[in-house]
Amino acid sequence: MRSMCKGLFVALVAVLALGAVSSAALGEEWSVNGSTAFGTEALSSATASLVGGKFTGDGIEITCATLQLQGGEIVEGGTGSATAVVLGTCKLLIKSEKCKLSSSTITTGAVTIDVVSATEVEIAPKHGTELATYNIENVTGKECALDGTYRITGDFLDTIESASTEATEHVATISKNSDIKVNGNLVTFAGASVLKLASGKDWSIQ
């Protein structure tokens, strides 16, 4: 019995080791200027256009035109973080003329940025499950039935265009496989923006 347990343990270690080799071989690490050993690189904090940026669901549609990563960085080995993701020039699109967003900016809390495949990066709340909140309020002199605070929870996936090719900029498109909810209701989040390093170096996923 002892030899059988020992054999199972050795087999398990072997499987785990093979899994680690396989994931690396599939390409799940950042590469900067052709090297996966670069320490830490800051992401550009410049405001970028968010093409087709919108989230819809539960009778609400909001569009946002810009995106900015604040305090963003990638770390060798496939991880990273940002102190905030800022969505700007946001508008509430509904038929009612009685409602409006209290702010044209939606700002997340701290997030993690992790490579999860050779072409995808996951962005998730660093603490808890809440990404951000926004408020809908009455237009002056009118009464909005949708007024209140809305909580955005979950995480979303960015598909990186030509991820394996070293380049200064890569287009990141929000994947349909993202799991985003507003007040507990699943919504569709869409949009694409350009990502680059503050140093201007080439980068990729290898």
Note the pLDDT of residue 92: 93
Closest to 164 measured CA to CA, from 7, 2, 26: 26
Average pLDDT over the chain, rounded to whole?
86
Contact 174, 192 (CB under 8 A): yes
Average pLDDT over residues 202-206: 96
Instruction: List, for residues 93-102, the tens digit of each pLDDT value.
Output: 887 788 999 9
HSE-CB for 146 with a 13 A CA cutoff? 21
Report, as an integer, the average pLDDT of 45-65. 91
Q: Which of 202, 162, 180, 177 is nearest to 57 (CA)?
A: 180
Q: What's the whole-number mean pLDDT along residues 44-71?
A: 92
Q: Could you tell me the residue ranges of all domains in the chain?
A: 30-205
pLDDT in tens, 134-158: 999 999 889 998 899 999 999 999 9
Which pLDDT value is given to residue 164?
95
pLDDT of residue 166: 96
CB atoms within 10 A of CB 3: 7
